Amino acid sequence: MIDWLLAGARWGEGDLVWTTDPLLVGGAALVALVAWAVALLGGWRAVRSPPLRLLESALWAVALGALVVGIAGPEIVEEDGREELGKLVVLVDGSGSMGVSDGASVRSTAAMEVLETLRGAQDPMDVYTFDETVRAGAPERFEGRGTDLGAALDVIADRHLGQELRGVVVLSDGLDRGPLRREVAAAAEQGTLSASAVPVLPGPVTFIQTGEAEALFDVSVEHVTSGGFAFLRTAVALQAEVRGPPGRAVPVTLSRDGRTVREETVTLDADGRADVEFTVIPRQVGRFAWEVSVPVEVGDAVPGNNVYPVVVRVVRERTRVLQVSGSPSYDQKFLRLFLKEDPSVDLVSFFILRTREDFRSGWQQNEMSLIEFPYQRLFTEDLSTFDLVILQNFNYRPYFSYGRDDLLLNIADYVRAGGALVMTGGDRSFDLGEYARTPISEVLPVELGVTGVKTDESPFRPKLTASGAVHPLTRLGATADETESIWQRLPAMDGTNLSLGLTPGSAALLEHPGLVTDSGPLPILAVREVAEGRTMALAVDASWRWSFSEAAEGRGNQAYLRFWKNALRWLVADPDYRRVVVFPSRENVLLGDEMRLTVRVRDAGYGPVEGAEVVGSIESPDGVRTPIALTTDAAGEGIFAYRPEMRGAHRVSVGTGNRAADRGSTVFAVSNRDPELADIQPDTTFLRQLAALYGERGRFVAPGAELDLLVDESARRSVPDRRVVSLAGAPFLALLFGGLGGLAWVIRRRNGGV
């Protein structure tokens, strides 16, 4: 009966706990108090007998109190415990190196076979997966990017603190990437190895090695060091580390864009290592992908580590300019001052200070501080070291004594290969410099071959053309109107070289206001893109007046500086100064890692373009294209997130139109060269050392050996037994509330209450 009244709770045993929120209980008590007061006040005067009044109120108080107690959620908690056989804990290495094949068997398969054997023979048993973290359960995939065995052992020790385990089993190839392996190796080398190096475990431990070093065959490009960036035309070393079977001769190939650049065969040393260094000289600015690879042979454990892609960003340290002037002049002076003061320019000047005609002046050679004009070296071996060559009123004929045609051809080829050339006006320039029908004339933006009078010496003010109004080179103001007004106020020129007009594909940015050619107004400033290079023709020799005359008006020399800065920037066609630029968040990305591509769009004046619709694609090594579509923000930028799924060089091409100027491109390298696949030889020594550190409570089981686990059959674990009985619904509370409440009601009714 009592058992029924207490809903099964044993009287005097267990702890009474209240499970309802105290605030809720307080609220219920308040409501009960108010109900008690209302009930009594409502029927107080109707009950005649004072003792009955007191009895009724007491009954109501007890009934409502029972209700509040029920709401408070009383529970009786009885705790007890019992002992059972200790557990066996199995730690399975789930890292990527476990996916390696050692000859005929894969390490992960061997580990799962051992696990299945244990499942059939050991109970109770808990299984955990460890790599860079620890998780309950067996591994579903062996793709972990790290192995931290020390941390895994710590977790097991913490989780079973105060308990006894029948045993701990570690299934691993011993390739720990955490600190434990390094510390054990260092301590062993110093002779200071002790049991304090490993966590104390609540049971004996057996290390079962998976994978056999002797059966492994793998040749890999371990790492390639590039520094990530290189300077234009400066040798950069790509150092690769190759690993494989000791003594083996391995051909190592350096390639770019799928084409072999260099190949070298190295012999691996006794440790199975060899270093190879490739030296390359970047000839273009931008991002370029190189790949170092070794052949994939039959049985290679990890074919994926035979190629190592790396992207190097080639930057221009400084713009290297060659200024050759046929005569010291104000035009040459002001241009040199500008170039010399620009810290981003590395200037090499050569001025012809004396001509053959001057030799008759009677001065001795040793009185003069003159050197020979090294034209042959400049226009052969040194030529490709310059970003820009300025021929300023320079006539080649008196100086190019030997190999004249070849030297001119060199300059033209230099332009086609990506160099930049400027020719400015004067009495030794254009047709007066006898450049007509030379290779130079084939790359200039103006047509040479003027016969008769070759200059016009009437002062004139150059006129901005429609192309000049939008071209970045002639943009001197913040707006088109300001640019126009600046050009209108700049001083007149003293005359001009004549030409036959523009060559095909060229654009005139400034033209003569009066003189015309057969193809239109006489071009004064013209530009042209020739294959990979760019050229500019400025048919006057008084651009210095744009500096000095502006200064006379108190306006400084900004117009002149901006003009030549714009010219430099446009001529060298730096990729970062293109109108559409795309660059990756990282040049070298791990497979599966998310990376971002930032696209920047600028207008002709290099101002940000908001709302530009950019389309393009990312081409993976297998030729599959992932489309890109984005709209630029107020800063003229848009970001495209991408998660590469294939190893190798990925090429990105984006644009706002089809013209070359409206398009940008870049490249990034994707590697699956996570540390897990860098070193895949099973580390037997480490596993043996660990087992030894645990002394009698540690054992090492070699691959293929009998599965002889170290277990402690006396290990016991305490299993808690907990019994909870809720009193909220116990009959005695219901009886108190219902019975006493009903009795109070009857008393009121019988004594005239309502």
Partner 1 sequence: MPHEAWSRRAVLGAMAASSLVGPDAWALGAASQVDIAELAIPGASIHRAAAWQRLLFELIQTTSVEANPETVQIAPEDPNLFAHPFTVLIGRDALPPMSDDGVEQLRRYVSYGGFLFFDDASGSRDGPFAQSVRALCRQLFPTRPMTPLPGDHSLYRAFFLLERPVGRVAVSEVLEGVTRGPVTPIVYCPNDLSGALHRGEDGRDRFPVVPNGELQRREAVKLGVNLVMYSLTSNYKHDQAHVLELMRDGKLE
Site stretch for partner 1 (CB under 8 A), options 208-216, 248-256, 363-371, 503-511: 363-371
End-to-end CA distance of the chain: 36
Of residues 409-468, those binding partner 1 (CB under 8 A): 425-428, 432, 455, 457, 459
Q: What is the DSSP letter of 503?
A: P
506: helix, coil or strand? strand
Q: Which of 348, 470, 728, 743 binds partner 1 (CB under 8 A)?
A: 348
State which of residues 357, 518, 622, 713 lies at the interface with partner 1 (CB under 8 A): 357
Cβ distance to partner 1 smaller for residue 554 or 623: 554
- 538: nearest Cα among 571, 514, 505: 571
Residue 271 engages partner 1 in binding (rule: CB under 8 A) = no
CA–CA separation, 740 vs 747, rounded Å?
11
> Which DSSP letter does residue 677 get?
G
The answer to whether the CB of 649 falls within 8 A of the CB of 180 is no
Give me the least distance between CB of 468 and partner 1, in Å please.
21
Amino acid sitting at position 421: L
Q: How far apart are CA 123 and CA 129, in angstroms?
A: 18
- 376 binding partner 1? (CB under 8 A): no
Q: How far is CA 503 from the centre of its chain?
A: 45
Binding partner 1 (rule: CB under 8 A), the pick from 36, 217, 231, 350 is: 350
Dihedral sign from CA coordinates of 605, 607, 609, 614: positive
- Does residue number 333 form part of the binding site for partner 1 (CB under 8 A)? yes
Q: How far apart are CA 415 and CA 732, in angstroms?
A: 104
Return the number of the residue (93 or 550) whose C-beta is nearest partner 1: 550
Q: What angle do CA 420, 422, 424 make, to 5 degrees?
A: 180
Among 15, 158, 372, 518, contact with partner 1 (rule: CB under 8 A): 372
Contact 456, 425 (CB under 8 A): no
Residue whose CB is less far from partner 1, 459 or 520: 459
Q: Looking at 327, 392, 438, 506, which residue binds partner 1 (CB under 8 A)? A: 327
CB-based contact 695:677 (threshold 8 Å) = no
Q: Is 510 in the site for partner 1 (CB under 8 A)?
A: no
Angle, helices 179-190 vs 684-693, to 10°: value is 80
C-beta closer to partner 1: residue 494 or 529 = 494
Going by DSSP bridges, is the β-strand pair 220-225/236-243 parallel, antiparallel, or unpaired?
Answer: antiparallel
Q: Which is nearer to partner 1, 76 or 542 (CB)?
A: 542
Of residues 25, 337, 590, 591, which one binds partner 1 by CB under 8 A?
Answer: 337
Q: How far apart are CA 148 and CA 750, in angstroms?
A: 82
Restricting to residues 656-695, which ones interact with partner 1 according to CB under 8 A? none
Stretch that binds partner 1, among 79-87, 242-250, 361-369, 475-483 (CB under 8 A): 361-369
Residues comprising the chain, all counted? 754
381 binds partner 1 (CB under 8 A): no
CB neighbour burial string for 156-168, b if at least 16 within 10 angstroms, e if fewer = bbeebeeebbbbb
Asked if residue 371 binds partner 1 (CB under 8 A), the reply is yes
Residue closer to partner 1, measured from CB, 320 or 428: 428
The residue within the footprint of partner 1, chosen from 113, 241, 494, 529 (CB under 8 A), is: 494
- 648 three-state secondary structure: strand
Among 229, 548, 732, 745, binds partner 1 (CB under 8 A): 548
Q: Does 196 bind partner 1 (CB under 8 A)?
A: no
With a CB cutoff of 8 Å and minimum separation 6, the contacts of 78 are 10, 13, 14, 15, 722, 723, 724, 725
- For residue 319, state whether it binds partner 1 (rule: CB under 8 A): no
Nearer to partner 1, 229 or 548 (CB): 548
For partner 1, the closer CB: 438 or 455:
455
Shortest distance (Å) from residue 560 CB to partner 1:
9
Nearer to partner 1, 227 or 459 (CB): 459
Q: How far apart are CA 251 and CA 213, in angstroms?
A: 23
513 is an interface residue for partner 1 by CB under 8 A: no
Q: How far is CA 368 from CA 21, 360, 364, 398, 537, in A?
A: 104, 14, 7, 20, 34
Q: How many residues bind partner 1 (CB under 8 A)?
A: 61
What b-and-e string marks burial along 397-419, b requiring 16 or more CB atoms within 10 Å of the CB? eebbeeeeeebbbbbbbbbeebb
Among 60, 128, 130, 334, binds partner 1 (CB under 8 A): 334
Beta carbon nearer to partner 1, 372 or 696: 372
Shortest reach from residue 384's CB to partner 1, in Å: 17
| Residue 123 vs 358, nearer CB to partner 1 | 358
The answer to whether residues 663 and 651 touch, using CB atoms and an 8 Å cutoff, is: no
Residue 98 or 390: the one with the smaller Cβ distance to partner 1 is 390
Choices 244-252, 324-332, 415-423, 511-519; region in contact with partner 1 by CB under 8 A: 324-332
Between 494 and 593, CB nearer to partner 1: 494
3-state secondary structure of 218: coil
Smallest distance from partner 1 to CB 514, Å: 15
358 binds partner 1 (CB under 8 A): yes
* Interaction of residue 354 with partner 1, rule CB under 8 A: yes
CB of 441 to partner 1, least distance (A): 19
Least distance CB 431 / partner 1 (angstroms): 11
Between residues 325 and 620, which has the closer beta carbon with respect to partner 1? 325
Within 404-465, residue ranges assigned H as helices are 404-416
Select from 674, 627, 668, 622 the least CA-distant residue to 649: 668
Site membership for partner 1, residue 367 (CB under 8 A) = yes
Could you list the residues that contact partner 1 (CB under 8 A)? 326-334, 336-337, 340-341, 348-355, 357-358, 360-361, 363, 366-372, 374, 393, 425-428, 432, 455, 457, 459, 493-497, 540-542, 544, 547-549, 551-554, 556-557
